[in-house]
């Protein structure tokens, strides 16, 4: 249990610290696109949106009858025309400690799962343990970040921080886990 606990805690610090340095150090500052027209865009959004949410435009109201047929028609009519996804919040929140704590908790749980699999999987070599640990990042990239980029057209600048954090940050974490978390009990 000591290998799992220490492995998890150190891996959590490694990955969380890596992400913190990348974001606070300004390495991911280009994740969004700037426009000098943001005051008028924000005014328009504030005047026309009632609640927080992710809005996709154009789209139809899925709660209405016949929405599938309307959506299919709208999709065909919209090909080649502009569209948008807007993540809208009525109020910006400050960077609170709770965000950091929740992020740390998610990282801890992720590292614990990886540690448990490495320990109880009885992978005999450093290389096998590394690739099992790193597979978490690859799975997340393929089924999360890059899949969203494919289906929703997320720009490379938006997904690049996740790709970097998962490949480099989790890669370093995987090296630690592969070296430390091994079942030596036979």
Q: Are 84 and 56 in contact (CB under 8 A)?
A: yes
Q: Give which of 171, 173, 169 is closest to 28, Cα–Cα.
A: 169
Residue with token string 């600048």: 157
- Say if residue 134 is exposed, middle or buried (CB neighbours under 10 Å; 0-12, 13-18, 19+): buried
Overall average pLDDT of the 161-177 stretch: 96
Query: CA-to-CA distance for 182 and 186, rounded, in angstroms?
Result: 10
Q: How far apart are CA 74 and CA 69, in angstroms?
A: 9
pLDDT tens for each residue of 2-56 = 999 999 999 999 999 999 999 989 899 888 889 999 999 999 999 999 999 999 8
SS3 of residue 84 by DSSP: strand
Backbone angles phi, psi at 85, to 5 degrees: -120, 130
Nearest residue to 164 via CA among 25, 36, 1: 25
Distance of CA 55 to the CA centre of its chain: 19
CA dihedral (118, 123, 125, 127) positive or negative? negative
Per-residue pLDDT reduced to its tens digit, 82-139: 999 999 999 988 888 898 999 999 999 999 999 999 999 989 999 999 999 999 999 9
Domain parsing of the chain, residue ranges: 2-29+96-180
In which band, very low, low, confident or very high, does the pLDDT at 186 lie, cut at 50, 70 and 90? low
């Amino acid at each position: 249990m000591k290998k799992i606990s220490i492995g998890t805690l150190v891996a959590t610090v490694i990955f969380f610290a890596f992400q913190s340095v990348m974001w606070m150090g300004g390495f991911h500052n280009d994740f969004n696109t700037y426009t000098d027209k943001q005051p008028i865009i924000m005014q328009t959004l504030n005047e026309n949106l009632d609640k927080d949410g992710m809005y996709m435009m154009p789209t139809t109201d899925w709660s209405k009858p016949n929405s599938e047929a309307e959506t299919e028609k709208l999709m065909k009519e919209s090909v080649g025309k502009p569209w948008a996804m807007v993540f809208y919040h009525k109020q910006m929140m400050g960077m609170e400690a709770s965000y950091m704590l929740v992020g740390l908790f998610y990282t801890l749980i992720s590292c614990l799962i990886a540690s448990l699999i490495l320990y109880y999987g009885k992978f005999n070599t450093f290389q096998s343990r590394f690739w099992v640990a790193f597979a978490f990042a690859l799975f997340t990239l393929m089924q999360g970040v890059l899949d969203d980029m494919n289906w929703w057209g997320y720009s490379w600048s938006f997904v690049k921080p996740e790709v970097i954090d998962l490949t480099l940050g989790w890669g370093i974490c995987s090296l630690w886990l592969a070296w430390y978390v091994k079942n030596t009990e036979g």
